[in-house]
Amino acid sequence: MQQGARVVAGASAASPPTFPSLVASISSALESLDRKQNPQAFLGRFIEYLSPSLVTQVVNAQSDPHLAFRFFRWALSQAPAHYAPTPGCFVNIISRLLSHSLFSCAESLLDPDKHPSSVSDLILSKFIRAYGDLGDINGALYWFRAKARAFRVSRTCFSYNSVLAVLVCSNRIDQARAVFKQMLEDKSVCPDVSSYTTMIRGFCKSGRIGDARQLFDEMRLTRNLITYNTLIDGYCKKGFVEDARKVVDQMIVRGQPKPDTVTFTIMIDGYCKRGELDLALQFLEEMAMWSCKPNLGKINEAEKLLAKMLLNGIKPDVATHTNLLKGFCIVGRSDDAVRHLEEMIRMGIKPDVRSYEVIINEYCKMGRPKEAMNVLEQMKVQGLATNVSSFNAVLRALCQLGETDTAVHVLQQMPLQCTPPNSLSYSTVICNVCSHPGRMRDAEDLVVKMVRKGHSLDASIYSSLVQGYCESKDMGMAVDMFKEMLEKRFVINRESFSALVKNLCLDGKGNEAKRAFEEMCRRCHVPEVDLYRIVLDDHLIR
């Protein structure tokens, strides 16, 4: 910290300090801060240098999101005398916090009265997406509806497009259609290309290709490549390859947008699935005419197409072989994929991280996590860095097979593999441990480690803890966890709520169960509250 201070002091004596030296000095000061210490004493000397650019760079430089939050909050306290936060500053810090599921911290920064730039439709869209990514669709809808009204946000396409994407991803197509209709009727905003494309994807995803085509034709906007490829993919998945071909021809006639690798790959896949290899090879040749790099993903007859590439003098690279691995996996030829990975090594082609990831994910889907773990070990031997998503796939597979002890061991070994667990890693294992009787002490140990590593408990973990304590007949801890959830505005899932109410009623504490329900409704937005009320009433009358 003293060295960092000398950098700033020395620089200011001769010339203004550079951004890198300021960022390094501030970061050093932040790391030396105790949680209870006043940041002003450590950061006060940097006030004169505060600017939107500096604040953004310091936030981005912090590996610990809690330090980034603490610094931003301190910088915000200097406004408006020394610092004028821009909308970009808020978007940056909130995106960072939400990426670590720090919802409460992110929301605490939203103060439209004191800082008007802290709330916008773009920022609301960040919350909507973050809740959607966690599978909390009701939370996403709550931010789209209630929070938007509460903050009196002027609508743009951001929040509409985010909630459309969340609903389509969760296969709630009719709800998405209702939101899209609302968007069309909303005089303050007009759907853009992304809005239409998302709805077209949703219709295609649910097999409603006729609705997708109708919406495609109704577009009064210039369709982009993603829009075309979405419709083409929808036709091919339904087996209507001729209709998809007509759309491609329409693109070619118009000249814009031009078909790309994705366009041709979709068509190749469509023809291969119908066994029309000649037409598939024809499209492979057309790819070369359009200067598109061959991509063999999603191809049933991948080996034949690879041979065709070799005959045409195209030397397959690692990416091409990786696409071939994906092709084998997609058509259910997992053993061929493993053999081809071994063949790549024998041919002197060094598989990259993505090549191994394909095999790891396939093993996990097949319920063979131990083989996936062997591949992770092989990556270590090859000097390749593993990533957290591969470990998370292994953890999910182990938990699904009931191999809880192995999952806990893998979680504890991840840092030794230079791959620290993230929130999802902990959540996967902790929720599984809680489901096994007599394992709550193990769950508690994992929670402590999770919090020490800077991760926050989410609604899923809290719900699992409540249910686990109920099953262990430790109602004191179950109630404490439930109250802690309410403090953080988390809503317990119905299964865990049922366990809580059931055990309270069995202990003759029906009134406490009713108060718990009322307190939850008072402090939180409870989606489908009537269903929770039914659960409560059902246990009260038994």
Burial 133-165 (b: 16+ CB within 10 A, else e): ebebbebbbbbbeebbeebebeebbbbbbbbbb
**pLDDT at site 313:** 53
Contact 323, 297 (CB under 8 A): yes
DSSP 403: -
The owner of tokens 């979405």 is 230
Sign of CA dihedral 350, 356, 359, 363: positive
Nearest Cα to 308, choosing from 298, 320, 318? 320
92-147 pLDDT, tens digit per residue, is 999 999 999 999 999 999 999 899 999 999 999 999 999 999 999 999 999 999 99
**CB-based contacts of 290, cutoff 8 Å, min separation 6:** 258, 259, 260, 264
89-104 pLDDT, tens digit per residue, is 999 999 999 999 999 9
Nearest Cα to 119, choosing from 132, 106, 131, 134? 106
Tokens of 19: 């951004």
Inform me whether the pLDDT recorded for 444 exceeds 70: yes
What is the rounded CA–CA span in Å between residue 164 and residue 177? 8
Give the mean model confidence (pLDDT) for residues 479-508. 94
The helix/strand/coil state of 14 is helix
520-530 pLDDT, tens digit per residue, is 999 888 888 88
Q: What is the pTM of this model?
A: 0.55
Q: CB burial class (10 A; 0-12, 13-18, 19+) of residue 371?
A: middle
**Whole-number mean pLDDT of the chain?**
87
Give the mean model confidence (pLDDT) for residues 442-452. 95
Tokens of 353: 């991280």
Nearest Cα to 83, choosing from 112, 52, 40, 111? 52
The more confident residue out of 517 and 342 is 517
**How many other β-carbons are positioned within 10 Å of the β-carbon of residue 417?**
16
What is the rounded CA–CA span in Å between residue 5 and residue 24? 10
Inform me whether the pLDDT recorded for 1 exceeds 80: no
What is the rounded CA–CA span in Å between residue 119 and residue 148? 9
What is the rounded CA–CA span in Å between residue 120 and residue 143? 12
Q: What percent of the chain has pLDDT over 70?
A: 87
The more confident residue out of 294 and 393 is 393
Inform me whether the pLDDT recorded for 330 exceeds 80: no
User: Which range among 18-32, 202-216, 296-310 has the greatest average pLDDT?
Assistant: 202-216
Helices 353-365 and 318-330, axial angle in degrees (round to 10): 10
Confidence band (pLDDT; 50, 70, 90) for 304? low
User: Which amino acid appears at position 340 of this protein?
Assistant: H
Contact 297, 271 (CB under 8 A): no
Q: What percent of the chain has pLDDT over 90?
A: 61
Inform me whether the pLDDT recorded for 499 exceeds 90: yes
**pLDDT at site 351:** 85
The owner of tokens 């743009």 is 156
Give the mean model confidence (pLDDT) for residues 509-527. 91
What is the rounded CA–CA span in Å between residue 347 and residue 358? 19
The helix/strand/coil state of 453 is coil
Sign of CA dihedral 447, 431, 459, 110: positive
Give the mean model confidence (pLDDT) for residues 51-55. 93
User: Which amino acid appears at position 282 of this protein?
Assistant: Q
Please report which residue ranges of 255-368 form alpha helices under DSSP H.
Answer: 261-273, 277-289, 302-311, 318-330, 334-346, 353-365
Tokens of 531: 């269903």
351-361 pLDDT, tens digit per residue, is 888 889 988 98
The helix/strand/coil state of 228 is helix
The gap from C-alpha 530 to its chain's centroid, in whole angstroms, comes to 30
Rg (CA), the chain: 27
**CB-based contacts of 10, cutoff 8 Å, min separation 6:** none
